[in-house]
Amino acid sequence: MAFEKEIGKRRTFGIISHPDAGKTTLTEKLLLFGGAIQEAGAVKSNKVKKAATSDFMEIEKQRGISVATSVMGFYYKDKKINILDTPGHQDFAEDTYRTLTACDSVIVVIDVAKGVEAQTEKLVKVCRMRDTPIIVFINKLDREGKDGFDLIDEVEQKLGLTLCPLSWPVGMGQRFQGVYNMWEKNLHLYSSDNKQRISEGTSIEDINDPLLEQSVGDEAALELRNDLELLEAVYPKFDHEAYLKGAQCPVFFGSALNNFGVQELLDCFQEIAPEPQAKEAEERVVAPNENQFSGFVFKIHANIDPNHRNRIAFLKVVSGKFERNKTYIHTRTSKTFRVSAPTAFMASKKSTIDEAFPGDIIGIPDNGSFRIGDTVSEKESLHYMGIPSFSPEHFRFINNADPLKAKQLNKGVDQLMDEGVAQLFTLKQNNRKIIGTVGALQYEVIQYRLEHEYNAKCTYENFPAFKACWIESHDDAQLQEFSTLKQRYLAEDKFGRLVFLADSQFSLQMAQDKFDKITFHLKSEF
C-alpha cells in the first residue's frame, strides 16, 4: 500500500518551448516556489546575476541558452515533482525528443509577443504523437504582446490543440495588473510598490462582487467580466479525463520573471497532472505498480562534475522499486551490476539515495557500459522502445589540432558521442571520423567542451552528405554490390552498424530504386 502511495505522489514532466520564451526562467521559479532553491537565477549573459540552476554548464552560462537537458526534483504539497528542463534551440532538438520519452506530461511555454514559433510546433507534434498531456503557459505578460483571445486562437490553429483557459490576465503589457485564477476563483495582483512581488490572492467567488472594482478599477473590472463571459461561452469546461488523454489543454497566463502566475500553475499542476504511466516495451506493456523494478536510460552526461571526469546515466524508473546495492540486469549485455551510489538531482548538485519509485529520475555512475535507450531490470529481459537516433542534418570531418593530445581528443569525442549530443561515423574506406549533428551550433559546443573539459583541440572540415541512412539488407549479394559501388560513402556508427552517407537526395533515391532488397532507415531504431 505504501508503494502505491509513493507512485501516486510522483509528477514527472518536461518544459518545452522555442528559445527565449522563458522556459528556464519558469523552471527556476517553480523551484523557488517548491522551496528547492532560495534565490532564482536569470538566464542572461551577464556576470552580475546568478546563473539559472538548470543551466549549469559553463557554455550555457556564457551564451544564455540551455544546451543540455537538466533534471531537478523537489517536494511540493506532499507531491514529488520531477522537472526536466530541455534545450529550446532547434540545434539540440534530439536531446529534447529523447527527454520527452521520460516525461508523463509537459508544460509548453509561449511568449506573449511572439506567439507560436517553429520549434514549439515541432515539439508539440512529438507530444501529440504520444498523446502526452499538455499544459500551456503564456509567459511575459508584463510586456506588450498579442491579445489574449488572438493568442489562444493562434495556439489552437497552429498546434492543433483544444484549449481550456484556467486563468486570465487583467490587462496586458503596461496595463497588466494581475491574473484572475479561474481554477481557484481568486485574483492575484501586483503589489503597487514593487512589481517583483505579488499581493496576497484576493478571493472573489462571484465575479460581480464590487470588491473587483476596488481592486482593479472600473474599466479593468468591466473588461475582465466581459472576457470571462466570452471564455465561458466559447471554450469547454475543464475535463480531467480529456486532459489526461491529451485531448484538452489547460492554459495559464503569467510572467515567470516577475513570479506571476507561476504558483497558480504549480498548484493546479500538482492536482491534475498524471501519475507515472505504463510504458511499452518490445515484449509487453509494463505498468508502474508491478513489483519488479525496471527502467530505461534516456540521457548520459559526461563530466557532470569536471573535477572528477565522471559520467552519469539518467535512468527513468518505470516499474517497481529501485534499491541501492541490489543486483540488477543490464538487458543489452545480460550482465548483472549493483549501484552503490545512485543519485537524485538538483541540476548539477547530486545527493545519494537509497530507493526510488516509478516516475523518479535517478543517476547511475557509468564507466562507459551504458548507452542511450538501454533497459535495466530486476529479472525479466525487457527492451523499452522509442529512443532512436535520427539522421543528422550536418556532417563534418573532425581533425586533431594538437598531435600531442590525440588520446584526450579520442576520449572526449567518445564520451560526448555517448551523450547523444551528436553522432560519430567512421568511413570504411580510410577510417576518417565524421561528426553528424542536427544543428550547426552543436559543433561549437563540442569544440568548446573538448577544449575546456578534456584539454583537447579540434578543427572541422565539411563533408558533403545529405542524410545518414542505417542499412538493413535481406540479400547478401546485393549488399556486396552496393558496398563496392558506394564504398566512398559507407561508414560505421559508434555501435558498428553500417550507415550510408548519401551525398544528395537524388543519390539516395537512385540507391533505393536500384537496390530493392536493401532498406534505408532514417533513424537507428528499426
Question: What confidence score (pLDDT) does residue 459 get?
Answer: 93
- Let me know how many helices (H) and strands (E) the chain has, helices first: 14, 32
Question: What confidence score (pLDDT) does residue 197 get?
Answer: 47
Same domain, 251 and 349: no
**What is the count of structural domains for the chain?**
3
> Which residue among 377, 405, 440 closes a domain?
377
Angle, CA of 368, 373 and 378, to the nearest 5° = 85
Q: Which residue, among 496, 400, 493, has the nearest Cα to 454 in the 3D structure?
A: 400
Question: What confidence score (pLDDT) does residue 87 get?
Answer: 59
Model pTM score: 0.78
Domain of residue 352, CATH code: 3.40.50.300
Question: What confidence score (pLDDT) does residue 274 get?
Answer: 92
Question: What confidence score (pLDDT) does residue 118 get?
Answer: 79
Same domain, 164 and 262: yes
pLDDT, tens only, 293-309: 999 988 887 665 555 55
Q: Which residue, among 348, 259, 266, 240, has the nearest Cα to 13 in the 3D structure?
A: 266
Residue 461 pairs in a beta bridge with: 397
Same domain, 171 and 308: no
Question: What confidence score (pLDDT) does residue 86 get?
Answer: 67
Whether 202 is in a domain gets the answer no
Same domain, 363 and 495: no
Whether 385 is in a domain gets the answer no
> Which residue among 334, 350, 377 closes a domain?
377
Question: What confidence score (pLDDT) does residue 308 get?
Answer: 52
> Which residue among 377, 406, 432 closes a domain?
377
Whether 229 is in a domain gets the answer no
d(C-alpha 11, C-alpha 275), whole Å: 6
Grid cell locating 41: 537565477
Question: What confidence score (pLDDT) does residue 68 get?
Answer: 43
| Cβ neighbours of 328 (radius 10 Å) | 20
Provide the domain limits for residue 436.
394-521
Question: What confidence score (pLDDT) does residue 51 get?
Answer: 45
Same domain, 241 and 292: no
As a whole number, the mean pLDDT across the chain is 81
Whether 207 is in a domain gets the answer no
Same domain, 116 and 157: yes
Whether 206 is in a domain gets the answer no
Grid cell locating 294: 525496471
Same domain, 451 and 509: yes
Whether 328 is in a domain gets the answer yes
Q: Which one-letter amino acid corresponds to residue 287?
A: A
Question: What confidence score (pLDDT) does residue 444 get?
Answer: 87
Same domain, 263 and 310: no
Question: What confidence score (pLDDT) does residue 322 get?
Answer: 92
Same domain, 258 and 148: yes
Domain of residue 445, CATH code: 3.30.70.3280
Same domain, 254 and 306: no
Same domain, 436 and 349: no
Sign of CA dihedral 247, 253, 258, 264: negative
Same domain, 352 and 411: no
Whether 402 is in a domain gets the answer yes
pLDDT, tens only, 69-127: 467 788 888 888 888 866 544 544 566 677 778 889 999 999 888 888 877 887 888 78
Question: What is the b/e burial string over 223-248, where b = at least 16 CB atoms within 10 angstroms of the residue's CB?
Answer: ebeebeeebeeebeebeeebbbebeb
Whether 322 is in a domain gets the answer yes
Residue spans of the chain under pLDDT 70:
1, 34-70, 85-96, 190-206, 302-309, 345-350, 386, 388, 525-526
